[in-house]
């Protein structure tokens, strides 16, 4: 049993939030009614990735189409976007490397995960028909997002470098890069829309895992039953 | 700067277009007769002088050519090429510079609104104020004309002396040409002049003489008479120039598809929320003591 009493704080003072204090350096532990899901460093890395992603997105969209040209005004004009976009892209790629390293060991797809990410499995998930007691800390969809994001980032980085320094590359490489950068970013963005929706409106209680770093026990039991059992030591069906 | 007095036919990254079609302006043309060019480079000097371009150091390449290729500060370059094929030898001179395509690949590829414009008279011009220096025009151009200047972070190329044309003068290069191998006027009239010249060349033994006005880019404002019209590549011209397929695919197919994917994802999530709502623990599910609801 890794559960610790609320009074046992490691925040240094007695005034802080016990769960958040634990979440600074630890995860997968029970603190009172909460379970620490993402330690501070994981959350910081995630938000740096998110911030650089949106800087890339909003500086890239006005270059992508004049219909979204108004977004350029957020940064001081299209010329600023064209300077900022590649550098934000580099920052995004670097932050993504840290994110990849911190989560990769937990993102191995199990047999159950592979079933989860089939069209049938995804439909079951979105229709709330999945009573899968075997979902661990991350479900198949989250793992799929992780790998798709990794692949997408590599694709965006490579094609982005070609677009940044086009004169160093042959014509066909440039042409392919414009097309692939376009395809990669649109699929990435479509995926992130789903990611944000699931992390906020669709599954209440999820967003706090990226803010406080903690989730409630009932949230964990609903969405990640096997992880809940592992962390709390409760038996299946309990 | 762009020429204010001229009506714009199309503009890069334009949402609504800017053509009013109120005025009927004739399409102009510059005819280059490569067969009467003597390689004197008066056009190069006139171009530099009229446009007040910075001096670019010359490079000795082993030919009479001033430098290997065009520069952001050198828009007009006589290319000297020697062609040797199965006992046949030709020394070919061609004035290289913007062709001012009717269907400009540079303008198609450009993401900056108004950075590249095409006037009603066919001249394709650059507006440095709107140019963001992304170099996409260099990928869009089938003739390898636009040049990026790292110093200014802008693209530059021949404007066909739009500032002169606007007030009824011919381009500086045409003005300076001593042999009359450059002519300027209405496109329809110059095409007739060029065709007559091609006939003359055929009678003089150049049976493959032709007018280079490639249909792949909708024809060009700068048209070229070639003695060896069956081999434009001998002159450094592409055989069948097109706006790169990828540029059209990217702007006309990939972009709408991408917009559809993004909007589709958004509306699918909205529809999902309206149909299924949030996922919460089942009513009456067993809750251990002290557990807060999500």
- B78-106: average pLDDT: 94
**A chain contacts of residue B135, beta-carbon cutoff 8 Å:** 166-167
CB of A182 less than 8 A from some CB of B: yes
Structure-model confidence comparison of residues A130 and B248, the more confident one = B248
Angle of CA points B80, B216, B187, to nearest 5°: 75
The span from the CA of A135 to the CA of A113, in Å, is 8
**Res B276: pLDDT:** 94
- Per-residue pLDDT tens digits for B137-148: 999 999 999 999
Asked if residue A223 is part of any domain, the answer here is no
Is there a contact between B273 and A201 if contact means CB atoms under 8 Å apart? yes
Quote the pLDDT of residue A195.
97
Whether A28 is in a domain gets the answer: no
Residue B126 CA to residue B154 CA, distance in Å, equals 10
Instruction: Inspect the interface and report whether the beta carbons of A66 and B272 lie closer than 8 Å.
Output: no
Among A6-10, A224-228, B44-48, B192-196, the least confident range: A6-10
pLDDT-derived band of residue B2, with 50, 70 and 90 as boundaries?
low
Domain that holds residue A73: 42-104
Q: Compute the nearest-CA separation of A59 from chain B (Å).
A: 13
By Cβ distance, the residue of A65, A128, A216 closest to B276 is: A128
Q: Write out the two tokens for B233.
A: 């590549």
For domain B8-242, is the CATH number 3.30.505.10? no
Contact yes or no for B112/B92 (Cβ under 8 A): no
Return phi, psi of residue B59, to 5°.
-130, 130
Query: Which portions of chain A are predicted below pLDDT 70?
Result: 1-14, 236-238
Give the per-residue pLDDT at A120.
92
Interchain proximity B278–A193, CB inside 8 Å: no
Q: Does A12 reside within a domain?
A: no
pLDDT of residue B294: 43
For residue B1, name the pLDDT band (cuts at 50, 70, 90): low
pLDDT at residue A2 in the model: 57
How many Cβ pairs closer than 8 A exist between chain A and B?
A: 130
Q: How far apart are CA A58 and CA A67, in angstroms?
A: 13
Residue B257 pLDDT exceeds 50: yes
Residues of chain B with Cβ-Cβ distance to A167 below 8 Å are 135, 138, 148
In a 3-state reduction of DSSP, which class is residue A2?
A: coil
Nearest residue of B to residue A125 by CA position? B279
CA distance B216 to B234: 19
Query: Does the residue A114 lie in any domain?
Result: no
Asked if B244 and A69 come within 8 Å (Cβ–Cβ), the reply is: no
Q: How far apart are CA B116 and CA B140, in angstroms?
A: 12
Question: Cβ of A107 under 8 Å from any chain B Cβ?
Answer: no
How many Å lie between the alpha carbon of A193 and the closest alpha carbon of chain B? 6
Q: What is the pLDDT of residue B220?
A: 97
Q: What percent of chain B has pLDDT above 70?
A: 95
pLDDT value, residue A3: 56
Q: Which entry of A181, A195, A223, A224 is annotated as an active-site residue?
A: A195
Can you name the residues that pair with B89 across neighbouring β-strands?
B84
Give the pLDDT confidence score for residue A236 in this predicted structure. Answer: 62
Instruction: Specify the pLDDT at position B21.
Output: 76
Q: Closest-CA residue in chain A for B259?
A: A186
Nearest Cα neighbor of B105 from B71, B136, B149 is B136
C-beta separation of B261 from A186 below 8 A: yes
CB A3 within 8 A of CB A16: no
Cα–Cα distance for residue pair B201/B180, rounded to 1 Å: 16
Q: Can you give the pLDDT at residue B51?
A: 97
Is residue B227 within 8 Å of residue A156, measured between CB atoms? Answer: no
Nearest Cα neighbor of A186 from B254, B272, B251, B267 is: B254
A195 is catalytic: yes
SS3 helix, strand, coil % of chain B, rounded to 5?
Answer: 30, 20, 50
Q: How far apart are CA B164 and CA B172, in angstroms?
A: 8
pLDDT for A14: 59
Q: What is the ipTM of this complex?
A: 0.90
CA distance A185 to A190: 8
How far is B265 from A227, CA to CA, in rounded Å? Answer: 29
For residue B293, the 8-state DSSP code is: P
And the tokens for A68?
């979204």
Show residues of chain B in contact with A175, CB under 8 Å. Answer: 139, 244-247, 250
At B291 the pLDDT is 46
- Distance, C-alpha B283 to centroid of its chain: 67
| Interface residue A67 vs chain B (CB under 8 A) | yes
Q: What is the mean pLDDT of residues B95-123?
A: 96
Nearest to A181 by CA among A91, A48, A46, A56: A56
Partners of B49 in the beta sheet? none
Distance CA A31, CA A6 (A): 6
- Total number of domains in chain A: 1
Parallel, antiparallel, or unpaired for β B77-85 and A34-36? unpaired
Q: Measured between beta carbons, which residues in chain B are less than 8 angstroms from residue A190?
A: 261-262, 264-265
Residues in contact with A46: Cβ distance below 8 Å, sequence separation at least 6, in sequence order = A38, A99, A210
The reported pLDDT for the residue numbered A232 is 94
* A19: in domain: no
Assess A54–B contact: CB distance below 8 Å, yes or no.
no
Give me the residue from A127, A189, A194 closest to B269, CB to CB: A194
* Closest in B136, B250, B265 to A182, CB measured: B250
Q: Does A191 contact B132 at a Cβ distance shorter than 8 Å?
A: no
Decide if A178 and B138 are in contact by the 8 Å CB cutoff: no
């Amino acid at each position: 049993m890794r559960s610790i009493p609320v009074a046992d704080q490691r925040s240094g003072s007695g005034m802080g939030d016990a769960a958040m204090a634990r979440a600074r350096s630890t995860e997968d532990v029970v603190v009172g009614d909460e379970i620490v899901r993402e330690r501070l460093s994981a959350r910081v890395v995630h938000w740096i990735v998110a911030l650089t992603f949106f800087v890339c997105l909003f500086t890239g969209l006005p270059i992508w189409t004049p219909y979204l040209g108004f977004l350029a005004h957020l940064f001081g004009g299209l010329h600023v976007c064209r300077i900022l976009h590649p550098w934000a892209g580099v920052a995004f790629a670097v932050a993504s490397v840290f994110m990849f390293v911190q989560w990769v060991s937990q993102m191995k797809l199990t047999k159950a995960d592979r079933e989860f990410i089939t069209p049938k499995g995804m439909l079951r998930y979105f229709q709330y028909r999945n009573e899968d007691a075997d979902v661990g800390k991350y479900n198949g969809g989250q793992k799929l997002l992780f790998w798709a994001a990794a692949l997408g980032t590599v694709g965006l980085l490579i094609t982005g470098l070609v677009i940044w320094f086009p004169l160093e590359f042959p014509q066909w490489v440039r042409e392919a890069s414009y097309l692939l950068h376009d395809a990669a970013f649109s699929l990435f963005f479509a995926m992130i829309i789903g990611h944000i929706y699931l992390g906020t409106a669709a599954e209440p209680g999820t967003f706090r895992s990226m803010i406080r770093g903690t989730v409630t026990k009932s949230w964990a039991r609903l969405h990640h039953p096997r992880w809940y059992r592992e962390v709390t030591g409760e038996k299946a069906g309990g | 700067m762009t020429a204010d007095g001229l009506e714009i036919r199309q503009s890069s990254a334009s949402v609504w277009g800017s053509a009013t079609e109120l005025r009927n302006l004739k399409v102009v043309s510059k005819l280059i007769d490569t067969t009467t060019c003597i390689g004197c480079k008066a056009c190069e000097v006139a171009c530099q002088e009229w446009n007040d371009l910075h001096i670019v150091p010359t490079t000795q390449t082993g030919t009479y050519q001033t430098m290997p290729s065009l520069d952001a500060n050198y828009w007009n370059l006589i290319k000297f090429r020697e062609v040797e094929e199965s006992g046949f030898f030709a020394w070919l001179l061609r004035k290289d510079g913007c062709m001012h395509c009717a269907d400009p690949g540079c303008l198609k590829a450009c993401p900056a609104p108004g950075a590249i414009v095409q006037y009603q008279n066919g001249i394709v011009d650059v507006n440095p104020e709107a140019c963001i220096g992304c170099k996409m025009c260099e990928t869009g151009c089938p003739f390898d004309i636009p040049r990026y200047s790292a110093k200014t972070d802008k693209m530059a190329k021949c404007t066909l002396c739009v500032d002169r044309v606007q007030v009824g003068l011919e381009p500086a290069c045409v003005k300076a040409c001593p042999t009359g191998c450059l002519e300027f006027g209405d496109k329809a009239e110059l095409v007739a002049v060029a065709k007559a010249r091609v006939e003359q060349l055929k009678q003089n033994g150049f049976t493959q003489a032709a007018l280079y006005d490639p249909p792949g880019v909708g024809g060009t404002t700068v048209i070229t008479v070639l003695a060896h019209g069956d081999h434009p590549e001998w002159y450094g011209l592409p055989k069948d120039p097109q706006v790169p397929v990828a540029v059209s695919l990217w702007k006309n197919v990939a972009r709408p598809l991408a917009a559809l994917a993004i909007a589709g994802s958004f509306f699918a999530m909205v529809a999902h929320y309206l149909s299924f709502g949030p996922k919460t623990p089942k009513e009456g599910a067993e809750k251990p003591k002290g557990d807060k609801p999500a």
